[in-house]
Chain A
Amino acid sequence: MLKKMLGTAAALTLLASPAAADIKIGFVTTLTTPVAVIGKDMRDAVELAVEHLGGKIGDDDIEIVYADDEFNSQKGKQATERLVLRDNVDIVTGYIWSNVLLASAPVVLNADKILISANAGPSPLAGAQCNANFFNIAWQNDQTPMALGELLNQQGVKSLYLVAPNYAAGQNMVAGVERTFKGKVVGKDMTVWPSQRDWSAELSKVKAAKPDGVFTFYPGPAGPAFIKQYQQAGLEGQVPLYSVYTLDSISLPLFQKAGMETVLGTKMTQFWAPDLDNAANKKFVGDFRKKYGRYPSFYAAQSYDAINYIASAVAAVDGDMNDTDGLRAALKKADFDSVRGKFTMGNNHFPIQNFYERTVVKDADGNWTTAVGKAVLTNHQDPYASQCKMK
């Protein structure tokens, strides 16, 4: 009896397989540790993207295999190895952290599979170590802070103090601001990441330096802690705080709950905003809010884009995941409806796109969110693209 059932099952599987092969997408993100809130936002966006696609690309079912990097580059690399070697996924995406991506990328690329970063954009992969199989659907780390440096010039900031965490992305962010900021940098502190959560020493130095503005970058739950201490130190209202990737849809509800009104009006730069005016974004933000009852963060927007980006390439090769050349060519075209609007892929496989000014505001219902302003940089390509040998 059992044998017969097994036989039938095997026959059914054989029959079924050509019609409903799975496109297996590996998605590496942080699902545990305190920064798991970011991973959750990304996963929610991926689920929404799959739902919008009807669970299929062409005839093939989409299967997402999530993997947890545990906020640690070694664990991230192991998770990637499991996806590539054990689960045999067709394509790998995700990655929040630059250090995790840098450790994991060789695993995917050596297996001749395609890797698409949905957040991290470390400079080596955009320049000398660019790779035909590596694509980034978010931004290069330097670009957003470069836009911020430009914004600081426009705001008339003459002297600036920088405080950021001492790891790959933190260094890129600081270098990005310094690249475009025309005034004087009066101080710079790189703090221990991720363990340091008390910035009393750095904030005292900021107070003593009396700059026109402070630039910071603290992603995840470190951001609210930094801004809270900024307020407690009496700096808020005296020195304007500018940031990238620190105030987002994950941290703003926390500030709202704590009633920290002084955050309203804070300026930052980003390639996307929940109120950016295009059809794909309206659908994404509207359905995300309907489904989860909150605004999506930029992490979510990029993850949503990553899935649609992959879907556009898979459709272009009719689901033949062994056609790596065809996939690469389609990915290079980036022909899909991005939530950021129209953009192109650069020679190093990083986006050439606009960066906008954003301001923290209350929406019509009183929820704290960000409003998009004018474009600070238009069709901007990262500065490392010229070091990449790909054409």
Chain B
Amino acid sequence: MDYVLLTEQFLNGFQLGIILFLMAAGLTLVFGIMDLVNLAHGSMFMIGAFVGGTITLVTGSFIVGVVLMIPAMLIIGIIVEMTTLRTLYPRDHLDHVLATFGLILFFNEATRLVWGPEGLVVPLPDFLDGTVALGAITYPVYRIVIIAVGLLVALGLYILVSRTRIGMLIRAGASNRTMAGALGVNIPLLFSIVFGIGAVLAGLAGLIITPITAAQIGMGEDVLILAFVVIVIGGIGSIRGAFIASIVTGVIDTMGRSFLDVFLLLFLPENAAESAGPALSSMMIYILMAAILFFRPQGLFPPKGAG
């Protein structure tokens, strides 16, 4: 076995996992805590990429783009929550799906009107654009930065939810909305802020992947599906579960793409392995999800107090 390649693929999977975590964390806050099925979370990923990308191109600095994207997404998130989503909380999940699907169409069209159909290419600053040697392997600097940023955000989120007053209110609102409200917590305001934080996390994920893939209309939808898989595997409403499940999903997906065809070649003829490999590897995480749902329907790490 080639350990250099194996390590490199592990890092690739970890980096994909980090992006999934940033998406899934926001999704789990909104879905797990506010009980809102938000398909438009992928749109926040896209808007973050376009808004942050535009700021980067105007100011000439990617760092400024990232920093200014945060308040911009917080405001956009809060506006979306206050204008459309707020009225949906008492209704059932199917209405959520319908309304937020409408939001996807709206945001895609709006992005096309503002930025045109060709998308946005965001350059990286020179100091992030090369590779770095880590022992025997050379790895793109920027992908290491993505991993580092994701880990920092995970830590920050953990501290926010478990160690701060707003985190306590979020947890209280999640366990029993009515009781928390009766104790004087401003639930509507709290939910606006939570949704805003979710939008910032999704926007951050979208923006940091943009120098690699370029910003495209509809770029959030594929990631959104993976993020839903992640929160189902991790346990709905659990940040810790979302983190672990993201990394597991990212690594399994990458390992499948890189080694499954080689593995199949051991016992299949070349033609069959070549066509079965890509097909099977794109199914792997769904197989994983199905297996986990069968053995642990509540997910791997359900939040305390839930099912």
Contact = CB atoms under 8 A, between A and B. Distances in A.
A204 B261 CA distance: 15
A158 interface: no
B274 A234 contact: no
B43 interface: no
A33 interface: yes
Contacts of B278: 166, 189-192
Contacts of A37: 117-118
B278 to A, nearest CB: 5
Given A192-B278, A192-B282, A198 B16 contact: yes
B140 interface: yes
A258 B122 CA distance: 8
B140 A204 contact: no
Q: Which residue, of A40, A190, A191, A198, has the highest number of chain B Cβ atoms within 10 A?
A: A198
A168 interface: no
Nearest to B140: A232
B8 interface: yes
Contacts of B217: 33-34
Q: Which residue, of B4, B212, B282, has the highest number of chain A Cβ atoms within 10 A?
A: B212
B218 A33 contact: yes
Contacts of A197: 212-214, 216, 219
A201 B216 contact: no
B12 interface: yes
Interface stretch (A7-15, A220-228, A338-346): A220-228
A221 B142 contact: no
Given A200-B143, A208-B5, A188 B274 contact: yes
Q: What is the interface residue range for chain B against chain A?
A: 35 or more
A132 B245 CA distance: 55
Interface in B250-305: 254, 257-258, 261, 274, 277-278, 282
Contact of A204 (B12, B130, B209, B212): B12
Interface in B192-234: 209, 211-214, 216-219, 222
Contacts of B123: 258-259
Contacts of B102: none
A315 to B, nearest CB: 36
B129 interface: yes
A195 B222 contact: yes
B186 interface: no
Contacts of B112: 32
Interface in B1-57: 2, 4-5, 8-9, 12-13, 15-16
A32 B274 CA distance: 33
A279 interface: no
Interface in A67-100: none
Nearest to A209: B5
B149 interface: no
Q: What is the interface residue range for chain A against chain B?
A: 35 or more
A233 B213 contact: no
B131 interface: yes
A207 interface: yes
B162 interface: no
Contacts of A207: 5, 8, 138
A232 B218 contact: no
A202 interface: yes
Contact of A232 (B12, B15, B129, B222): B129
A258 B126 CA distance: 11
B131 A232 contact: yes
B119 interface: yes
A234 B258 contact: no
A289 interface: no
Interface in A1-54: 32-34, 36-37, 40
A208 B142 CA distance: 20
Given A192-B282, A233-B131, A234-B131, A205 B216 contact: no
Interface string B144-169: 00000000000000000000000000
Given A229-B212, A233-B140, A33 B117 contact: yes
Given A198-B16, A225-B212, A34 B218 contact: yes
Given A36-B118, A37-B117, A258-B123, A204 B8 contact: yes
Contacts of A225: 212-214
A251 B222 CA distance: 24
A290 interface: no
A65 interface: no
Nearest to A200: B12
B97 interface: no
A232 B8 contact: no
Interface in A152-193: 166, 188-192
Closest 3 CB pairs of A and B: A234-B131, A197-B213, A200-B12
Given A189-B257, A232-B131, 14 more contacts: A34-B218, A190-B274, A190-B277, A190-B278, A192-B282, A200-B254, A201-B9, A202-B257, A204-B5, A204-B8, A207-B5, A224-B214, A232-B142, A234-B130
5 contacts: A36-B117, A208-B5, A224-B214, A225-B212, A258-B121
Interface of B: 2, 4-5, 8-9, 12-13, 15-16, 112, 117-119, 121, 123-124, 129-131, 138, 140, 142-143, 209, 211-214, 216-219, 222, 254, 257-258, 261, 274, 277-278, 282
